[in-house]
Amino acid sequence: MTNTKAIIIKDLCKEYYKKDSSQKSFWSKLKGNKGGQPFYALKDINLEINRGEVIGIIGPNGAGKSTLLKILAEVTPPTAGSVEIFGKVASILQVGIGFQQELTGYENIFLSGNIYGLKRNIIESKFDSIVDMFGFPDFLHTPVKYYSSGMYMRLAFAVIANIDADIYLLDEVLSVGDLNFRDKVLNMISKMSGKGKTILIVTHAPDTIYAYCDKIAILNKAQILKFGKPQNCIAKYNLLAYENAEKQNLTINRNIENNKTIIDNNLSKHFQTHSAEVINTDTYFQGNELELEVKFTKSSNIKFRISYIIKDELNKPIAEIKSNITIKDSGNYKYKAFVPTRLLNNFNYLVDIFVYAETKLCVIYPKALSFKLTNKNKDSSFCMLEFNDFKCELLKESNN
């Protein structure tokens, strides 16, 4: 009977040691003392992945996602447990692994191809495709140590996408590069999946890969928190994000200016936020009015407009708060929006802030706000809401 499994992981553990001041780095090692406090990067991991499945691997920083891919790629050995892999593996791990820094992009293409068992004539036949996917032909003869992280990842991906493997391990390939590169990655995932290839992709943007995955695994504190259908896992992941945020007073993004997405640099430089918050409390009972507030400085006479996008636990927009209020003069401002919470159900919510110059979107502040609704007498089912009429007000503040 043909084996339908691509990867079987049983009781997998990976243990490391935290260095501390008491560790005598050289002589301690000679005596067999590893030193430091032991901790698990992975503990008791059990997974079975079928051939042709696309598996998303998500979780907070330090959960063990990259460590898992390193073990599957045989870059690092497990401390305990077993891994069975059925088929040829191609991998992109974190930036810095895979290329020789002193060699050019051109030389690394052939080196990487040889490592994966491709003969020179095969690499040459795929060369144009690799360069096209890379997108920077003028830098092919530049040593990769001078590449940006985005260029480095693009070249690594371009090589991997042209290797005929059975299993692809992709670590954070969506975290670098522009939208065009992201689309190339997603198209590659779709095509490879259609050919029966198995793909494991680590990402911090589960909403991006949601539609491409057969299953998602959530790693948290070195263990599998959940493994199953994408919609269920993403809901659980967002709840986990809220739980972690609650420990920090539910402030998802204390300095939202450092986490903005710039759409138009020439316009966005005239708009700077100082704070964004949900006024009074982070828990609202049904029937109360929710008050969102952002404080900002406008440094030109370009007309700006602000909108809030409320998202549910699946990171899907359910309502847009917008008004016809435009900010004309330069100065310091406070923009408020009032939302009747009776329109929303019991759940946790995130709020993105969108800033427009005239009608052109110029900057986005993702996950700038968060809040939760609680009412024991109301069910917790979602409803898609389409309403745009909210009470909003704009206040100009003193420059002092």
The full set of domains in the chain, from first to last, is 5-246 (3.40.50.300), 256-397 (2.70.50.60)
**Distance between start and end Cα atoms, the chain:** 77
8 A C-beta contact, residue 130 and residue 112: no
Q: How far is CA 268 from the centre of its chain?
A: 23
8 A C-beta contact, residue 218 and residue 225: yes
* pLDDT value at residue 385: 42
Q: Does pLDDT of 283 surpass 60? A: no
Q: How far is it, in rounded angstroms, from Cα 190 to Cα 212?
A: 7
Q: What 3-state class would DSSP assign to 388?
A: coil
8 A C-beta contact, residue 263 and residue 363: yes
pLDDT in tens, 185-198: 888 888 898 899 99
pLDDT in tens, 266-276: 888 888 888 88
Higher pLDDT, 236 or 386: 236
Mean pLDDT of all residues belonging to the chain: 80
What residues contact 258, with CB distance under 8 A and at least 6 apart?
A: none
* pLDDT value at residue 280: 57
Bridge partners of 222, per DSSP, are none
State the pLDDT confidence band at 345, using cuts at 50, 70 and 90: low
Higher pLDDT, 277 or 216: 216
8 A C-beta contact, residue 206 and residue 58: yes
User: What is the rounded average pLDDT of the residues 24-46?
Assistant: 70
Bridge partners of 54, per DSSP, are 199
8 A C-beta contact, residue 55 and residue 9: no
Q: Does pLDDT of 343 surpass 50? A: yes
Q: How far is it, in rounded angstroms, from Cα 392 to Cα 390?
A: 6
State the pLDDT confidence band at 389, using cuts at 50, 70 and 90: low
Percent pLDDT > 90 in the chain is 28
What region does 52 belong to: left with phi over 0, alpha with psi -120 to 50, or beta? left
Token digits of residue 384: 């898609």
User: What is the rounded average pLDDT of the residues 370-389?
Assistant: 51
pLDDT in tens, 42-92: 999 999 999 999 999 998 878 999 899 999 998 899 999 999 999 999 888
User: What is the rounded average pLDDT of the residues 395-400?
Assistant: 73
Q: Does pLDDT of 257 surpass 90? A: no
8 A C-beta contact, residue 194 and residue 125: no
What residues contact 290, with CB distance under 8 A and at least 6 apart?
A: 278, 284, 338, 339, 340, 341, 344, 371
Q: Which of 210, 206, 112 is nearest to 163 (CA)?
A: 112
Q: How far is it, in rounded angstroms, from Cα 350 to Cα 394?
A: 22
* Minimum mean pLDDT range among 158-162, 227-231, 310-314: 310-314
Q: Does pLDDT of 26 surpass 60? A: no
User: What is the rounded average pLDDT of the residues 23-42?
Assistant: 64
Q: How far is it, in rounded angstroms, from Cα 168 to Cα 121?
A: 23
State the pLDDT confidence band at 284, using cuts at 50, 70 and 90: low
8 A C-beta contact, residue 219 and residue 58: yes
Token digits of residue 215: 């299953």
- In angstroms and rounded to an integer, the radius of gyration of the C-alpha atoms of the chain is 25
